[in-house]
Every structure is written in C-alpha cells, then in structure tokens.
C-alpha cells in the first residue's frame, strides 16, 4: 500500500436526477435537457429521489418543491444530511485508507451534489424554504427554458470545477506521499502513518510490527552495473515487497537509499517474520545478477524485524531503533538473513 491514487474525472455527459410528480413537466424537461446534451433519470417523488441518488450518484438534482410521499424540501434536507454524514465519517476514519485528513475532508466537502429546486412563481416563502433546506439555486413555474439552461450550466460547471480541484489535490497528495522511483510510500508517508498507527494501537493495546530491509552490497551493485540498473533493481524490489503484503493496513515504504520499511499494524512477531521470509524469498526469486556480492550470485535482502505493543508513554522511534538494531545485526552476521527483536512493553 502506498497511499490513495488520484481521482479520475468521467468523460460521460452529466447525469441529472429529475424529481417531479407532474408527468407533462417531466417529459418537457427531459426532452429539453437531453437536447442540451445531458443524461436524465426521472422519479416522481422525494423518496424515489433519495433511493436513486444513492444508487446512481448524479451530477445534479432537480427537485419539484411540492410532491406527494416526500416533498422537495424534505428530500433536499435528506440529501444535505447525506453529505454531512459522509464528511463526519471521513473525519472519523481519515487515515485508514492511506490518505491525509486534509485530502479526505476536502474531498467530502466537494462531494456535495448541487440541487436545483423548482418552486411556484413569485412565491418568496417557497424560495426561502428552498435555500433553508440547502438548495443551490431555484427556478420558478412556468419554467423559462432559457433561464433553466443557464442555471443548469452554471451549477454543473461549478461542480465540475470542484471535481477538477479534487483530482488535482489528490494528485498532489499522491506525489507528496509516494516515492517517485519505486512507487511505494516515501519517508514522509512512513513517518505520518507510523505515528497515527502508534496512537491507534496504543488505545487498543494491539501489536505493531516493523520490518526494515536492506539490499545487500547495493553500492557494489551500482558500481558494477551503473545507476540506471540500480534504479531498476530498486523498482523490482519495491514491487516484490508491495505484492507480498496482503493486509490493506500494511504500508511498504522506501526508507532511504536501498533501504525499505514495512509497517504492519495488528501483527504479532510470528506474522511479521512470515512476511519477512516471503519478501526475502521473493527478491531472491527475481534472480537479479549481482556478481560483486560475496554471499550470492543474485541480489539478496537483510531484514530486521521488531514487534511491540505501543503505549502512550513510549515513542514510535523506539520501534524504529530496535528494528534498525536487528537489521544491523543481520548485516554484521553475514547478510542475507532475518534477525528478530521482540520488545517488552
């Protein structure tokens, strides 16, 4: 896992969800909107609108103010509440999917779908109720199609701008969190994720394992084959590590130079050792020729594994130090091996 990928923007024509119990008006609006190049989905009341909204995720909602079963005002309030609930959920769970608080919250703020309310002519009370319910704009009956055209365009352009800003923001966040060469998380993301998981697991009294791994004799590899080959080697190793971990909570990061790190929340020492061995075997099976190595014809890994149960009195740096000591010992004892360190809480 290396973080959240940038958002793509659909090339399909905008989808408008139209809710009105008056069939002749629905037919009129549908024909007009389709001629304007939009896709249209019709429903007859607010309850059907909510069900369709959750299913199809339209780009714009058009609501008649007065409808049976559930009127436009009640439906509008429910749509706004859905957006608020999504935002609250994003704040509560901002780090479980590898994204930052800022990115997730901004995304959910921009996720709100514009709502165009259809009200009675010259009825200021209905207009006030529409805006109080959360409508983005309104048109009055009988509907002036020229005015409708401009208001639909404006709302959709605004929504599209928000999506473009969201995509750009996520792309920047992706670049900020990912190592440009290997595609795994970078050191910044490693630090942020380790700190957040430390606090979470300290409250749960759950284990946290860390694997530090180093490509053996990598300087000699670069000297022999050149830096472009060294870059390719790093990319292949990063891919093996990423493919080996299976839990979505595990984070593979480039720790520095030829060194990688794997954060494994809710993982005991035995599980961490199992994955460390799988990573070591996976790199060995690549059979990347390494003639200068004194321990193998092929590229190998040395790994240090440390496990602890975080507490609020301890620091994440203590886990890094123990994993680093284990890695140093693996290298000192001949490389191409795994050394373990079980920390006492």
- List, by residue number, the catalytic residues: 258
Neighbouring residues of 207: CB distance < 8 A, sequence distance ≥ 6: 201, 266, 267, 268, 269, 307, 308, 309
Q: Where are the beta strands (DSSP E) in the chain?
A: 15-19, 39-43, 60-64, 115-119, 137-140, 208-215, 251-256, 259-265, 301-308, 338-342
C-alpha angle 266/300/335, rounded to 5°? 85
What is the spatial distance between Cα 101 and Cα 105, in angstroms, rounded to a whole number? 6
Which residues make beta-bridge pairs with 100?
none
Structural contact between residues 137 and 116, judged by C-beta atoms closer than 8 angstroms: yes
Structural contact between residues 71 and 65, judged by C-beta atoms closer than 8 angstroms: yes
Kind and range of the H or E run holding 83 = helix 72-92
Structural contact between residues 151 and 145, judged by C-beta atoms closer than 8 angstroms: no
Tell me how far CA of residue 3 lies from CA of 140, 231, 234, in angstroms: 46, 21, 19
Cα-atom radius of gyration of the chain, to the nearest Å? 28
Tell me how far CA of residue 231 lies from CA of 225, 258, 291, in angstroms: 10, 10, 17
Structural contact between residues 333 and 327, judged by C-beta atoms closer than 8 angstroms: no
Q: How many residues does the chain have?
A: 345
Structural contact between residues 301 and 279, judged by C-beta atoms closer than 8 angstroms: yes
């Amino acid at each position: 896992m290396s973080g959240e990928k940038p958002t793509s923007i659909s090339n399909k024509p905008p989808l408008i969800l139209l809710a009105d119990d008056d069939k002749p008006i629905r037919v009129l609006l549908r024909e007009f909107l389709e001629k304007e190049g939009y896709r249209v989905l019709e429903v007859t009341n607010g309850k059907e609108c909510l069900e369709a909204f959750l299913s199809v995720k339209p780009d714009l909602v058009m609501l008649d103010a007065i409808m049976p079963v559930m009127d436009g005002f009640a439906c509008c309030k429910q749509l706004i509440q859905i957006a608020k609930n999504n935002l609250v959920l994003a704040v509560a769970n901002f780090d479980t999917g590898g994204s930052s608080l800022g990115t997730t919250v901004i995304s959910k703020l921009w996720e709100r779908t514009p709502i165009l309310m259809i009200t009675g002519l010259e009825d200021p009370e209905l207009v006030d109720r529409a805006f109080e319910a959360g409508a983005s704009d309104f048109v009055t009956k009988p509907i002036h199609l020229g005015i409708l055209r401009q208001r639909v365009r404006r709302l959709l352009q605004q929504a599209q701008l928000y999506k473009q800003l969201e995509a750009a923001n996520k792309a920047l966040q992706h670049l900020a969190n990912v190592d440009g060469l290997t595609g795994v998380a970078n050191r910044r993301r490693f630090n942020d994720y380790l700190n957040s998981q430390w606090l979470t697991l300290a409250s749960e009294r759950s284990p946290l394992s860390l694997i530090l791994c180093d490509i053996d004799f990598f300087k000699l590899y670069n000297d022999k084959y050149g830096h472009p080959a060294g870059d390719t080697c790093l990319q292949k190793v990063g891919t093996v590590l990423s493919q080996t971990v299976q839990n979505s909570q595990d984070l593979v990061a480039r720790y520095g130079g030829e060194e990688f790190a794997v954060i494994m929340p809710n993982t005991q020492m035995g599980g961490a050792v199992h994955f460390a061995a799988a990573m070591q075997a996976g790199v060995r099976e690549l059979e990347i020729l390494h003639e200068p190595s004194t321990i193998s014809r092929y590229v190998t890994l040395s790994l240090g594994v440390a496990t602890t149960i975080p507490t609020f009195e301890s620091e994440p740096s203590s886990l890094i130090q123990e994993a680093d000591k284990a890695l140093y010992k693996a290298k000192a004892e001949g490389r191409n091996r795994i050394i373990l360190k079980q920390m006492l809480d």
